[in-house]
Amino acid sequence: MAQQYEFAGHSGSPMGADQSAIVAAASASLACTRSPRAARDAVTMQATNTPVFAGWDGSILQARQLQQQLAQRVVLQDQVSTAPQVLAGFDVGFEDDGQTTRAAAVLLDAHTLLPLETHVARLPTSMPYVPGLLSFRELPALLQALALLSRTPDLVFIDGQGIAHPRKLGIAAHFGVVTGLPCIGVAKQRLAGSFTEPGPERGEHSPILLGGAQIGWALRSKPRCNPLIVSPGHRVSMQGALAWTLRTLRTLRAYRLPEPTRLADRLASRRGEVMSDVQGDLLG
């Protein structure tokens, strides 16, 4: 069955040619903010009332209100297929001195963690960096990259926050609610909450708390490295997010990142070809 998308409160069409057209049309309508100073008062965009951000007036205030509304739709229950076949990893980088947003997507075999296909989507950068509003900057390009995949992933990993966010709607949660796909956020740095430093060994972890409620995990994925910030994005439980992240850490080489976001990060940052990188691991 084709995956049905719902863009911020209104239904879209199934993934495929129609979905690609919707994402492309919405993303093409984005315009760069004229100055960082203006962005502090209003994120001046032409993306309002598009399928991606339906009803958004372009202001920071309303963006935060939309985050609070969409956060109510996050599902924190495990709804991942009992026999997942493919995983996906996504990350975002920037080119042309930040003028172009580069979203990388990697589809992996769920059993071997080997990449099946890779794609890069490029769109004009639509707004400057505003703390806590990363998804409004990166989501259009990520949706474009998703539309390039030949198969719908059973589970998505995104380099960024899930609900470990001041308003509990980081990029992985926003992406999950918009697409309906099970999603996990794996970030390199904490954005919200506090935690006790986990033990030094790989796999040790501690809860991240915000206002007395758990919003994620601090996971030591590699000895002598800072912990990762792992949190559910959508249709994944707190325990499920931790278990899946541990499951996708490669044991052959002690990488810090789980394989889906490690490969996507490599592709987004243009540090190397994903296929040759994996081949080197297998030979080494």
Q: List the binding residues for Mg(2+).
A: 91, 159
Cα–Cα distance, 87 to 76 (Å, whole number) = 19
CA distance 234 to 54: 20
Binding site membership: which residues? 91, 159
List, in sequence order, every residue forming a beta bridge with 102; answer none if it has no partner. Answer: 93, 122
* Residue 40, Cβ density class (10 Å: 0-12 exposed, 13-18 middle, ≥19 buried): exposed
Token pair, residue 114, equals: 């080997």
Tokens 């769920």: give the residue: 110
Question: What is the DSSP code (8-state) at residue 12?
Answer: -
* Cβ atoms of residues 187 and 173 within 8 Å: no
